[in-house]
Amino acid sequence: MSVVLVIGASRGIGLEFVRQYTEAGDRVIATVRDAAGRARAEAQGAEVLTVDVSQPASVSGLAWQLDGEKIDTALYVAGVYASGTARSPPTRELFDQTLHTNVLGAMQVLPQVAPLVEAAQGRFGFISSGMGHIGSVESSQGWTYRVSKAALNMAVASAQHDYPAAILVALCPGWVRTDLGGPNAPLSASDSVRAMRATLAKLTPAHRGQFFHHDGRPFAGW
Q: Per residue in 170-222, pLDDT tens?
A: 999 988 887 777 778 788 999 999 999 999 999 999 999 999 999 999 998 66
What does the pLDDT read at residue 179?
73
What pLDDT does 222 receive? 60
Instruction: Report domain extents, the chain.
Output: 3-213
pLDDT in tens, 20-78: 999 999 999 999 999 999 999 999 999 999 999 988 889 988 999 999 999 999 999 99
Fold that domain 3-213 belongs to in CATH: Rossmann fold (3.40.50)
Cβ contacts of 78 within 8 Å, gap of 6 or more? 7, 8, 14, 31, 53, 101, 102, 105, 106
Residue 101: Cβ within 10 Å count: 20
**pLDDT at site 186:** 83
Mean pLDDT calculated for residue range 158-169: 98
